Amino acid sequence: MKISIFKTSQSQYVINLFIKVFSDSEGQDEGESIGKLVSDLIITTDEIDIVGFVAVLEEEIVGCIFFSRLTLSSEQIAFILSPVAIATKQQGQGIGQQLIRYGIENLKSKDVDLVFTYGDPAFYAKVGFQQISEDIVKAPLKLTQPEGWLAQSLGKGVINVVEVSSECVKALNKQEYW
């Protein structure tokens, strides 16, 4: 398997991957919703505010993740991991964890301080995320499952208390994703 930085020439393959994976697990409506999110992330987010990574196996994209900027009121540079998709047939083989670790190492090399995500605490704990209270860093929108608000520090710094809400990129700034 080869992991590399997402290229816009891969957009349609990646969007189709997200639609298929989320349709398989959550139903067609969710697949279409996440496909639209990925399309919007790619189209509407400035290059400096997004980075994606793909996993390729036998010349086929079998996994993809995106990190987009999360603006905090502190001086810390932060990104949020969302969304993640691994081809249904390849799930459970560690591809998602490899992609996430690769992406986090890439962000560290760019002096990013913090990475957040919103998802399954049991899965994301495997790659260093810990639950975080909104008393420490408030999510951009109302969380439907506060236990899924997760973060990790990428440097020697700690996660400082932030007194105002964080802001995500436009594509993620919709309540349906939170």
Q: What is the pLDDT of residues 51-101, one digit of tens each?
A: 999 999 999 999 999 999 999 988 889 999 999 999 999 999 999 999 999
Q: Which two tokens stand for residue 106?
A: 């890439």
CATH number for position 63: 3.40.630.30
φ, ψ of residue 170 to 5 degrees: the values are -55, -45
Average predicted confidence (pLDDT) for the chain? 94
Query: How sure is the predictor about 162, in pLDDT bands with cuts at 50, 70 and 90?
Result: low
- pLDDT of 2 > 80? The answer is yes
The pLDDT of residue 160: 67
Domain enclosing residue 103, as ranges:
2-177
Q: How many domains does the chain have?
A: 1
Whole-angstrom distance, CA of residue 39 vs CA of residue 52: 12
